[in-house]
A and B are shown apart, each in its own frame.
Chain A
Amino acid sequence: GDSVTQMEGPVTLSEEAFLTINCTYTATGYPSLFWYVQYPGEGLQLLLKATKADDKGSNKGFEATYRKETTSFHLEKGSVQVSDSAVYFCALSRTSYDKVIFGPGTSLSVIP
């Protein structure tokens, strides 16, 4: 069945460091891919998404490119801030009414 794999956390970075969180997926067809972020004590918020191969999603300085050949959707940010500390979830969905499948989440802590 469909699945999403993310790099294990927790990840701890110093402020202004470069961030990469790896995400790979297994799915038939051409799923849509998402990154969601969960701040402490809150629900998940959509961070960015891409709906077809080679699309790049971007938001708040974060980027991820849909790579069909490597079935990957890695999240990157050039310079992280303390306020980026959160849990990041990679996710996929195949159709409009299909369930969204989430990866296990990667916890990020950014220290001053």
Chain B
Amino acid sequence: DTAVSQTPKYLVTQMGNDKSIKCEQNLGHDTMYWYKQDSKKFLKIMFSYNNKELIINETVPNRFSPKSPDKAHLNLHINSLELGDSAVYFCASSPQGNTIYFGEGSWLTVV
């Protein structure tokens, strides 16, 4: 069983479209995250939720909106996609104690 699963794995879409990436974890963790990895492999946190409550919201355009319906799910919706949004988006979760468990990533390409 995949611990942190995200879908879709690959997504190619046109500028201006709206898209969502879904994430689920079956580890029973309280905290979930979205990270963005750019083409140079640099990782930047976008959002963090703890028990469905937003606790970290980095400087991210408000076109990006996370939603956590329950503590096992954290979805990412992106409006009006731009070329610069092309990246790999990683969902992750952690229990108390900092260790983060990552999903396999979602490769988003905006054309």
Q: Would A44 and B98 count as touching, CB distance under 8 A?
A: no
Q: Which residues of B contact A105 (CB under 8 A)?
A: 41-43
Q: How far is the CA of A97 from the CA of B30 in the complex (A)?
A: 10
How many A-B residue pairs have C-beta atoms within 8 angstroms? Tell me: 56
Q: Would A99 and B42 count as touching, CB distance under 8 A?
A: no
A49, A87, A95, A97: the one within 8 Å of B41 (CB): A87
Q: Which residues of A contact B102 (CB under 8 A)?
A: 36, 43-45
The verdict on A46 contacting chain B, using a C-beta distance below 8 Å, is yes
Q: Would B42 and A97 count as touching, CB distance under 8 A?
A: no
A residues 68-96 touching B (CB-CB < 8 Å): 87, 89, 93, 95-96
B residues 19-65 touching A (CB-CB < 8 Å): 31, 33, 40-43, 45, 48, 50, 55-56, 58
Size of the chain B interface, CB-CB below 8 angstroms: 25
Q: Would B41 and A107 count as touching, CB distance under 8 A?
A: yes
Q: How far is the CA of A96 from the CA of B95 in the complex (A)?
A: 8
Size of the chain A interface, CB-CB below 8 angstroms: 24
The verdict on A34 contacting chain B, using a C-beta distance below 8 Å, is yes
Q: Can you report 18 residue pairs joining A to B where beta carbons are below 8 Å apart?
A: A32-B98, A34-B98, A34-B99, A36-B100, A38-B41, A43-B105, A44-B90, A49-B98, A49-B99, A95-B98, A96-B96, A96-B97, A98-B98, A99-B33, A99-B48, A100-B98, A102-B42, A105-B41
> A residues bordering B, Cβ < 8 Å?
32, 34, 36, 38, 42-46, 49, 87, 89, 93, 95-102, 104-105, 107
